[in-house]
Structure 1
Amino acid sequence: MINCSIYERIFKRFDEDGDGKLSPSELRRCVGTIGEELLMEEAQEVVESMDSDGDGLVGLEEFVGWMKREGEERKMEELREAFRMYEMEGSGCITPKSLKRMLSRLGESRSVEECSVMIRQFDVNGDGVLSFDEFKLMMF
């Protein structure tokens, strides 16, 4: 997890006038420095999505909170993608057979029984398969 001081440094870099708040135009210019284009309308939408106190600007706390939420959402999406790779059967869960298949693709040869044992370690409800929530527990 990125610590707060990194967020503070990013915020200060964006806060060109040093007023402790990010305006849409400051956000737009900073995004431009990394070679991306952000229209003023888009910058205003981004600021509105971060602005929790309704002042039309983004303070440090709002910025840090938004960055952390964005990071969590990104991690969850990556976890969902990994889960989909392992479940492979469209069943919405990881079965011993699908785990064996994925491990084989990764160069790990395991029997279906060995995969069942692996799944049982994280199978909270005892149904013999891993749901996404159980997979999350395993990954964290």
Structure 2
Amino acid sequence: MVAAGNAIDKHEQYKRVFAHFDEDGDGKISGSELRRCVAAIGRELTEEEAEAAVGFSDSDGDGLLDLEDFVRLVEAGEEEERVKDLKEAFKMYAAGAGDGGGVLITPRSLKRMLSRLGMRRSATECGVMIAEFDLDGDGALDFDEFKVMMS
């Protein structure tokens, strides 16, 4: 029930942001309005990038974003940022895994990272933790398995 409340709150926030940047009040956001929206959060978007983002997200082909298009665009950006953060975390846990490139989280690399975080675990305990999310049964976590674990 809390999750549903949070979803409603988030949708209301999107509506308020959308209304704020819908400068002409037509219920649509143009590429230039999107650029101002992005600038307001401290990022820069070129005119070409804004038009491409609108074109990608525009569901009715009018060259503008309605509220639902805007929500999908924002959520896609949030997901992209989340995956970027997960990749960084994955690299930290996989570093020094001894697999020739740090592309897997092994019991040894997990034990090392948990130790750095002040959490003492044996290699066996780390192996059990990994086994819970080790979908291919190789005894280690690749990035896709790590994403499932962090969901």
**Same fold by TM-score greater than 0.5:** yes
Match of 2:141 among 93, 105, 130: 130
What's the CA shift string for 1:59-99, capped at 9, x where partnerless?
A: 11111111111111111111111111111132421101100
Match of 1:66 in 2: 73
Distance 2:72 2:140 in 1: 35
Number of residue pairs aligned between Structure 1 and Structure 2: 140
**SS where residue 13 of structure 2 aligns?**
helix
Map of 2:3 onto structure 1:
none
* Structure 2 match to 1:50: 57
Alignment of 1:1-140 (within 5 A): 3-33=10-40, 38-88=45-95, 89=97, 90-140=101-151
Identity score, percent: 57
Q: TM-score, normalised by structure 1?
A: 0.83
Counterparts of 1:81 and 1:16, CA distance in 2: 37
- Deviation of residue 44 (structure 1)? 3.1
- More relative contact order in 1 or in 2 (CA 8 Å, sep 6+)? 1
SS state at 1:62 partner: helix
TM-score (norm. length: structure 2) = 0.78
Secondary structure of the 1:22 match is: coil
Flag structure 1 segments of 5+ consecutive residues without an equivalent. Answer: none
Local SS of the residue matching 2:103? coil
